[in-house]
Chains A and B, each alone.
Chain A
Amino acid sequence: GDSVTQMEGPVTLSEEAFLTINCTYTATGYPSLFWYVQYPGEGLQLLLKATKADDKGSNKGFEATYRKETTSFHLEKGSVQVSDSAVYFCALSNYGQNFVFGPGTRLSVLP
């Protein structure tokens, strides 16, 4: 079945450091790919998404590019802030029906 693999956390960075959170997937068909973020004490929010190969999703300084050849959707940000501390979930959806989430990666940004 479909699956999503994310890098193990927690990830701890200093403010203004470069962030990469790796995500790879296994899926039949041509899934849409998502990054969701869960801030402390809050529900999941969509951060960005991409629906076809080579699409780049971006939001709040975060970016991820849909790489079909490597089945990856790595999340990047050039300069993280303390307020980016959260849990990040990579997810896929095939035809908008079933959604599969990765286990989440906890990011802590220190001032």
Chain B
Amino acid sequence: GAGVSQSPSNKVTEKGKDVELRCDPISGHTALYWYRQRLGQGLEFLIYFQGNSAPDKSGLPSDRFSAERTGESVSTLTIQRTQQEDSAVYLCASRPTGTGSWTDTQYFGPGTRLTVL
């Protein structure tokens, strides 16, 4: 089936504006992650959703960042009052859950490149 998709692929915005980034996970994957990847750097964990459990928000860098997920479907990452340091690629990944070692692999989307002018 289809992989993880993200939209938009590129977003250019002005400092101070709000942006919404969307992630469509693989159907049936109950776990969903958001990461930030600054230019030339590694992945920075932002937030993790697992089914109907309370999300792990421990990686969100400030209260300008928030994310929602309805059930086991689409997730949106919202950044309010964007700053230039928010410029990065935002990656979404989903993971199946259940028993078995195949459940511990993440599948990544292509990312959304955010540029804040």
Contact = CB atoms under 8 A, between A and B. Distances in A.
Contact of B95 (A42, A89, A96): A96
B1 interface: no
Contacts, number: 52
Interface in A60-93: 89, 93
A44 B41 contact: no
B24 to A, nearest CB: 14
Interface in A33-56: 34, 36, 42-46, 49, 51
Question: Interface on chain B toward A: helix, strand, loop, or mixed SS?
Answer: strand
A78 B114 CA distance: 38
Q: Bin chain A's interface residue count.
A: 20 to 34
A42 B110 contact: yes
Given A96-B95, A99-B45, A101-B43, A44 B101 contact: no
Q: Bin chain B's interface residue count.
A: 20 to 34
Question: Interface on chain A toward B: helix, strand, loop, or mixed SS?
Answer: strand
B103 A96 contact: yes
A101 B105 contact: no
Contacts of B45: 98-101
Interface of B: 31, 33, 35, 41-43, 45, 48, 50, 56, 91, 93, 95, 97, 101, 103-111
Given A97-B31, A100-B45, 14 more contacts: A32-B104, A43-B109, A44-B43, A45-B108, A46-B105, A49-B104, A51-B104, A93-B104, A96-B95, A96-B97, A97-B50, A99-B33, A99-B106, A101-B42
